[in-house]
Amino acid sequence: MKRLAYNLFVSLGLAAAAPVLAPRLAQKRFRRLAKVRLGLGSGWLPPKQEKGGIWVHALSVGEVASALPLLKALGEAFPGRPLIMSVATDQGHSVAKKALGADSEVLLLVRPLDLPWAVDRLIDRIDPGLFCLVEGDIWPNWQWSLAARGVPRMLVNGRVSPRTFKGYRRFAPLARGMLNGFDRILLQTRVDYERMAQVGVRPKRLKVGGNLKFDTAPKILTQGEKQTLAREMGLLGRQVLVAGSTHPGEEGPCLKAFARLKKDHSELALILAPRDVNTGPVVFEQASQLGLKSVQASLNNSDAAADVVILDVLGRLAAAYALAEAAFVGGSWQSLGGHNLLEPASQGVPVAYGPHTYNFLEMAKQLTKAGGGVRVKDSDELAAFWGDILANPQKAHDMGRRARRFCLDHQGAVRRAVLEAGALLREKDGIHPDPSHKEPDLQSGEGYGR
């Protein structure tokens, strides 16, 4: 009855949205994706797959970055099983396709909406032996359809933000029903574990597995690679600060902090990478109003005399952090939860972030405790932190070393997920583990550590 009522509601919602969807189907540029998302026709369906494959789903670009190392590790651990990867957005599909390469044997597809006719047909084509969801994108029909076919399900890199926790508690019966459908839920931190338990998810399903992003932290750039990158940006031989993944309302304070320091450090440069790359012209104007000379990376120009390089292109920020004496990670001066602290930390760069880091709550706490990062509440505190780093090379070296060590010490989430995947596959096949073999205790940890 639950499924019937839910699908009736979904069908009514789809009918109500028809006036919006119909014009999209009529436009060629939207038609392909719309037909996939709505499960129309059969051209979007993949060929029938060999039974028992491992299916990994990632919502969009951020989740794809976490999922790819896991997908690779699963392929290495279970070489006889087909690999399937699905995403929920066209952009996520593009990123995954580029990362996997043209010769990849992984079946890559965009997952349709939670419509029963689409869900059932796709699952029948894939016929998976294990479904692994990375972080989120949980829908009832997917759970019901996979359960009806006896497919074990695992949620990896699970996170329960304050906002999500509030929603789970408000709709507790629905949340419990969907979450208890997973055979294993590996949470990023102990805080996430406790929030899941409070919602009413059965403890036997819950474990702390750590954060996959630690295992995806970029490798440290060599000195030669740094020099090449600096030359490309017109920054060779200069001291550099980086403000990454900033949002409107954060670029201005970062530019002001930099402008204050520029007075005493004539060769200092700032790389500012807005989260929305389309805001490059706006940031350019803000810098001009402060008397700062800027260049936009999207225009493919560089100027050795520029004060600010606006990195308004995708895919270059992680490497750019390696040029920094110190960095700031945005999304944290506003109630947005912050962005990935590991990109600068993994390059051995002292990192600052604002008070709003609930997307990386434990990571920020642990990085601060390790001495690799600091919280700054405003432009003045950021200027003070950056200035202190510039004035004290030994302090900069020590903070950078601690940040890098923090990243290395907290890797291992991919390995834990693969172990759990293996356990689920053995259970499905009716293979009981050797009683003399002791699996690592994931539940007792704090979510980090090897």
Q: Which residues are catalytic?
A: 63
Cβ(351)–Cβ(362) below 8 Å: no
Cβ(249)–Cβ(333) below 8 Å: yes
Q: Which residues fall within 8 angstroms of residue 37, CB to CB, at 6 or more apart?
A: 110, 112, 113
Q: What whole-number distance in Å separates Cα of residue 355 and Cα of residue 238? A: 30
Strand partners, 273: 244
Question: Largest Cα–Cα distance of the chain, in whole Å?
Answer: 71
Dihedral over alpha carbons 141, 143, 145, 151 (to 10 degrees): 160
Phi, psi of 443 (to 5 degrees): -70, -30
Distance of CA 69 to the CA centre of its chain: 12
Cβ(385)–Cβ(336) below 8 Å: no
